[in-house]
Amino acid sequence: MWQSASLLLAYPDDGLAERLDTVDALRAHLTGPAAALLGQTVAALRAMPAMAAATRYVETFDMRRRSTMYLTYWTAGDTRNRGREMLAFATAYRDAGAEPPRDEAPDHLPVVLEFAATVDPAAGRRLLSKHRVPIDVLRAALADAQSPYEHTVAAVCATLPVASDQEARRAKRQAGHLLEAGPPAEAVGLQPFTLTVPPKRSEAG
Protein backbone atom coordinates (compact mmCIF):
# COMPACT_ATOMS: atom_id res chain seq x y z
CA MET A 1 0.00 0.00 0.00
CA TRP A 2 2.80 2.43 0.91
CA GLN A 3 4.47 1.91 -2.47
CA SER A 4 1.24 2.78 -4.27
CA ALA A 5 0.76 5.88 -2.12
CA SER A 6 4.32 6.98 -2.81
CA LEU A 7 3.80 6.68 -6.56
CA LEU A 8 0.51 8.59 -6.46
CA LEU A 9 1.92 11.44 -4.36
CA ALA A 10 4.89 12.01 -6.67
CA TYR A 11 4.87 14.95 -9.07
CA PRO A 12 2.80 14.02 -12.18
CA ASP A 13 5.58 14.14 -14.75
CA ASP A 14 5.88 12.25 -18.03
CA GLY A 15 5.98 8.96 -16.13
CA LEU A 16 2.55 9.44 -14.56
CA ALA A 17 0.66 7.05 -16.84
CA GLU A 18 3.16 4.27 -16.17
CA ARG A 19 2.98 4.89 -12.42
CA LEU A 20 -0.81 4.72 -12.50
CA ASP A 21 -0.61 1.36 -14.29
CA THR A 22 1.79 0.14 -11.59
CA VAL A 23 -0.56 1.28 -8.85
CA ASP A 24 -3.46 -0.55 -10.48
CA ALA A 25 -1.36 -3.71 -10.57
CA LEU A 26 -0.43 -3.32 -6.91
CA ARG A 27 -4.02 -2.57 -5.92
CA ALA A 28 -5.05 -5.99 -7.20
CA HIS A 29 -3.22 -7.50 -4.22
CA LEU A 30 -4.79 -5.21 -1.59
CA THR A 31 -7.79 -5.91 0.59
CA GLY A 32 -10.00 -3.58 2.58
CA PRO A 33 -10.74 0.10 1.96
CA ALA A 34 -7.17 1.01 0.93
CA ALA A 35 -7.62 -0.34 -2.61
CA ALA A 36 -10.77 1.72 -3.14
CA LEU A 37 -9.22 4.89 -1.70
CA LEU A 38 -6.16 4.58 -3.93
CA GLY A 39 -8.41 3.82 -6.86
CA GLN A 40 -10.23 7.13 -6.41
CA THR A 41 -6.96 9.03 -6.79
CA VAL A 42 -5.99 6.93 -9.80
CA ALA A 43 -9.32 7.58 -11.51
CA ALA A 44 -9.10 11.32 -10.87
CA LEU A 45 -5.56 11.57 -12.23
CA ARG A 46 -6.40 9.52 -15.31
CA ALA A 47 -9.27 11.89 -16.05
CA MET A 48 -7.05 15.00 -15.96
CA PRO A 49 -5.05 16.31 -18.92
CA ALA A 50 -1.33 16.12 -18.18
CA MET A 51 -0.89 19.87 -17.89
CA ALA A 52 -3.88 20.19 -15.59
CA ALA A 53 -2.56 17.44 -13.32
CA ALA A 54 0.83 19.13 -13.04
CA THR A 55 -0.71 22.54 -12.39
CA ARG A 56 -3.07 21.21 -9.75
CA TYR A 57 -0.24 19.38 -8.01
CA VAL A 58 1.83 22.57 -7.76
CA GLU A 59 -1.17 24.58 -6.57
CA THR A 60 -1.95 21.95 -3.95
CA PHE A 61 1.45 21.13 -2.52
CA ASP A 62 3.68 24.06 -3.44
CA MET A 63 1.37 27.01 -3.02
CA ARG A 64 -0.67 26.01 0.03
CA ARG A 65 1.14 25.89 3.38
CA ARG A 66 -1.61 23.74 4.88
CA SER A 67 -0.88 20.88 2.49
CA THR A 68 2.90 20.66 2.52
CA MET A 69 4.22 17.09 2.43
CA TYR A 70 7.38 17.97 4.38
CA LEU A 71 6.59 16.28 7.68
CA THR A 72 9.03 18.14 9.91
CA TYR A 73 7.49 21.45 8.85
CA TRP A 74 4.68 20.71 11.32
CA THR A 75 6.83 19.41 14.17
CA ALA A 76 9.80 21.79 14.08
CA GLY A 77 8.76 24.79 12.03
CA ASP A 78 11.89 26.90 12.26
CA THR A 79 14.40 25.98 9.56
CA ARG A 80 17.30 25.57 11.99
CA ASN A 81 15.31 23.23 14.21
CA ARG A 82 14.09 21.27 11.22
CA GLY A 83 17.64 20.37 10.25
CA ARG A 84 18.01 18.17 13.29
CA GLU A 85 14.71 16.43 12.68
CA MET A 86 15.44 15.87 9.00
CA LEU A 87 18.77 14.34 10.02
CA ALA A 88 16.83 11.70 11.94
CA PHE A 89 15.14 10.65 8.69
CA ALA A 90 18.46 10.55 6.82
CA THR A 91 20.04 8.52 9.63
CA ALA A 92 17.20 5.99 9.52
CA TYR A 93 17.73 5.55 5.78
CA ARG A 94 21.48 5.04 6.17
CA ASP A 95 21.03 2.63 9.08
CA ALA A 96 18.85 0.52 6.75
CA GLY A 97 21.52 0.58 4.03
CA ALA A 98 19.98 3.21 1.75
CA GLU A 99 21.35 6.63 0.87
CA PRO A 100 18.93 9.55 1.38
CA PRO A 101 17.67 11.09 -1.88
CA ARG A 102 19.81 13.85 -3.32
CA ASP A 103 17.03 15.75 -5.06
CA GLU A 104 14.46 15.79 -2.28
CA ALA A 105 14.34 16.36 1.48
CA PRO A 106 14.33 13.12 3.52
CA ASP A 107 11.11 14.07 5.35
CA HIS A 108 9.07 14.43 2.15
CA LEU A 109 6.12 12.05 2.56
CA PRO A 110 6.53 10.18 -0.77
CA VAL A 111 10.18 9.53 0.11
CA VAL A 112 9.27 8.16 3.53
CA LEU A 113 6.57 5.96 2.00
CA GLU A 114 8.97 4.57 -0.59
CA PHE A 115 11.51 3.81 2.11
CA ALA A 116 8.88 2.06 4.22
CA ALA A 117 7.64 0.04 1.25
CA THR A 118 10.92 -1.00 -0.37
CA VAL A 119 13.75 -0.78 2.16
CA ASP A 120 12.82 -1.19 5.84
CA PRO A 121 9.12 -1.52 6.69
CA ALA A 122 9.70 -1.47 10.46
CA ALA A 123 11.85 1.66 10.43
CA GLY A 124 9.53 3.28 7.90
CA ARG A 125 6.49 2.56 10.07
CA ARG A 126 8.24 4.17 13.04
CA LEU A 127 8.91 7.34 11.05
CA LEU A 128 5.36 7.49 9.71
CA SER A 129 3.80 6.75 13.10
CA LYS A 130 5.90 9.41 14.82
CA HIS A 131 4.55 11.91 12.29
CA ARG A 132 0.97 10.66 12.28
CA VAL A 133 -0.38 14.05 13.37
CA PRO A 134 1.25 15.96 10.49
CA ILE A 135 -0.12 13.36 8.09
CA ASP A 136 -3.58 13.85 9.62
CA VAL A 137 -3.21 17.63 9.19
CA LEU A 138 -2.29 17.08 5.55
CA ARG A 139 -5.26 14.78 4.96
CA ALA A 140 -7.67 17.30 6.47
CA ALA A 141 -6.23 20.11 4.35
CA LEU A 142 -6.58 18.04 1.19
CA ALA A 143 -10.16 17.15 2.12
CA ASP A 144 -10.98 20.84 2.59
CA ALA A 145 -9.51 21.55 -0.85
CA GLN A 146 -11.47 18.64 -2.37
CA SER A 147 -8.19 17.28 -3.69
CA PRO A 148 -8.08 13.77 -5.21
CA TYR A 149 -4.87 13.22 -3.24
CA GLU A 150 -6.88 13.21 -0.01
CA HIS A 151 -7.97 9.63 -0.68
CA THR A 152 -4.37 8.45 -0.92
CA VAL A 153 -3.34 10.16 2.30
CA ALA A 154 -6.43 8.71 3.99
CA ALA A 155 -5.26 5.26 2.93
CA VAL A 156 -1.88 5.97 4.52
CA CYS A 157 -3.55 7.14 7.74
CA ALA A 158 -5.48 3.88 7.89
CA THR A 159 -2.20 1.97 8.23
CA LEU A 160 -0.99 3.99 11.24
CA PRO A 161 -1.94 4.11 14.95
CA VAL A 162 -4.32 6.86 16.02
CA ALA A 163 -2.59 9.93 17.47
CA SER A 164 -3.12 10.72 21.15
CA ASP A 165 -5.18 13.74 22.20
CA GLN A 166 -2.04 15.41 23.52
CA GLU A 167 -0.24 14.93 20.19
CA ALA A 168 -3.22 16.28 18.27
CA ARG A 169 -3.49 19.39 20.48
CA ARG A 170 0.24 20.10 20.19
CA ALA A 171 0.14 19.75 16.42
CA LYS A 172 -2.88 22.05 16.18
CA ARG A 173 -1.05 24.76 18.11
CA GLN A 174 2.06 24.32 16.00
CA ALA A 175 0.08 24.34 12.77
CA GLY A 176 -1.66 27.57 13.75
CA HIS A 177 1.67 29.25 14.44
CA LEU A 178 3.24 28.06 11.20
CA LEU A 179 0.31 29.07 9.03
CA GLU A 180 0.60 32.60 10.38
CA ALA A 181 4.40 32.77 10.07
CA GLY A 182 4.66 31.22 6.60
CA PRO A 183 6.61 28.16 5.39
CA PRO A 184 10.35 27.68 5.77
CA ALA A 185 12.36 27.85 2.55
CA GLU A 186 12.52 24.08 2.16
CA ALA A 187 8.73 23.86 1.82
CA VAL A 188 8.74 25.52 -1.60
CA GLY A 189 9.25 23.75 -4.90
CA LEU A 190 8.52 20.03 -4.63
CA GLN A 191 10.43 17.88 -7.06
CA PRO A 192 10.17 14.21 -8.08
CA PHE A 193 12.37 12.05 -5.89
CA THR A 194 14.62 9.04 -6.16
CA LEU A 195 15.64 7.03 -3.12
CA THR A 196 18.90 5.18 -3.69
CA VAL A 197 18.15 1.59 -2.72
CA PRO A 198 21.04 -0.89 -2.45
CA PRO A 199 20.80 -4.53 -3.55
CA LYS A 200 18.91 -6.64 -1.05
CA ARG A 201 21.14 -8.16 1.56
CA SER A 202 21.26 -11.91 2.07
CA GLU A 203 19.66 -13.51 5.09
CA ALA A 204 23.11 -14.04 6.56
CA GLY A 205 23.94 -10.34 6.09
Query: What are the residues facing 189 on neighbouring strands?
Result: none
Kindly state the average pLDDT of the residues 114-132. 95
C-beta separation of 69 from 109 below 8 A? yes
pLDDT band at 80 (very low <50, low <70, confident <90, very high): low
Residues 6 or more apart in contact with residue 18 via CB below 8 angstroms: none
Of the listed ranges 62-76, 138-152, 170-184, 191-205, the one predicted with least confidence: 191-205
Burial 154-183 (b: 16+ CB within 10 A, else e): bbbbebeeebeeeeeeebeebbeebeeeeb
The residue type at 1: M
pLDDT band at 72 (very low <50, low <70, confident <90, very high): confident
Q: What global pTM score does this model have?
A: 0.82
On the question of pLDDT at 52 being above 80, the answer is yes
Left (φ > 0), alpha (ψ -120 to 50) or beta: where does 100 sit? beta
In 3D space, the residue among 86, 114, 116 whose CA is nearest the CA of residue 187 turns out to be 86
Q: Check residues 190 and 83 and name the one with the higher pLDDT.
A: 83
- Tell me, what DSSP letter sits at residue 186? G
Question: pLDDT of 144-196, one tens digit each?
Answer: 899 999 999 999 999 998 877 776 676 666 656 555 554 444 433 333 344 54
Kindly state the average pLDDT of the residues 71-87. 74
Of the listed ranges 32-36, 113-117, 120-124, 153-157, the one predicted with least confidence: 32-36
Residue 196: helix, strand or coil by DSSP? strand
